Amino acid sequence: MDQVLVVVESPAKAKTITKYLGRGYKVRASVGHIRDLPERKLGIDIEKDFKPTYVTVKGKTKIIRELRSEVAKSSTILLATDMDREGEAIAWHLREILNRKTDIPIKRIIFNEITKKALHEALQNPIDVDMKKVDAQQARRILDRLVGYLVSPVLWRIFYKGLSAGRVQSVGLRMLCERENEIRNFTPAEYWTIEGVLETAGNVEFPARLLKVDGKKPELASRDEAESVLSAIKAETLKVTEVREKDKKRNPQPPYITSTLQRDAAGRLGFSAKKTMVIAQQLYEGVELGREGSAGLISYMRTDSTRVSDEAYRQGISFIEQRIGPDTVYRGKRSFKKAKSSQDAHEAIRPTDCFRTPDDIKKHLGRDQLALYTLVWKRFLASLAAPAVYEVKEIDIAAGERFLLRANGRRLKHPGFLAIMQDRQPESDTWIPEIRSGEFLSIRELDKFQHFTEPPARYTEASLIKELEDKGIGRPSTYVSIISIIQSRDYASKEKGTLFPTDLGEKVWQTLDSLFRDVFEVDFTARLETELDKIEETDKEWHDVVRFFFDPLTADLEKVKEKQAELKQLMQEETDETCENCGSKLVKKWSRNGPFLACPGFPECRFTRSVEGEEKIDKECPKCGGTLAYKQGRFGRFIACQNYPECKYTEAATLGIACPRKGCTGEIAEKRTRRGKIFYGCTRYPACNYASWDKPTSQFCPQCKETYLVEKSSKKKGHFLKCPACKSEVTP
**DSSP at 265:** I
In Å, what is the CA distance from 41 to each residue of 141, 178, 216, 696?
14, 33, 66, 45
Q: Is the peptide bond between 645 and the residue preceding it cis, with omega within 30 degrees of 0?
A: yes
CA angle 417, 421, 422 (to 5 degrees): 105
Radius of gyration of the chain (CA): 31
SS (H, E, C) 455-478: CCCCCEHHHHHHHHHHCCCCCCCC
CA 357/CA 354 separation, integer angstroms: 7
Closest CA to 393 of 368, 411, 379, 370: 411
Contact 156, 176 (CB under 8 A): no
Residue 603, Cβ density class (10 Å: 0-12 exposed, 13-18 middle, ≥19 buried): exposed
- Within 8 A by CB and 6+ apart from 35, the residues are 54, 55, 56, 57, 60, 93, 96, 97
CA angle 509, 514, 517 (to 5 degrees): 85
CA 535/CA 545 separation, integer angstroms: 8
Helices 522-537 & 542-562 angle (0-180, nearest 10): 150
Phi/psi at 621 (5° precision): -70, 125
Residue 63 burial (CB count, 10 A): 17
Q: What's the residue count for the chain?
A: 732
Closest CA to 94 of 59, 67, 126, 73: 67
Closest CA to 89 of 134, 126, 128: 134
Q: What share of the chain is helix, strand, coil (3-state, %, to 5)?
A: 35, 25, 40
Active site residues: 300
Three-state DSSP class for 431? coil
Give the number of C-alpha atoms closer than 13 A to the C-alpha of residue 539, restricted to the C-beta side: 0
- Within 8 A by CB and 6+ apart from 343, the residues are 304, 305, 533, 536, 537
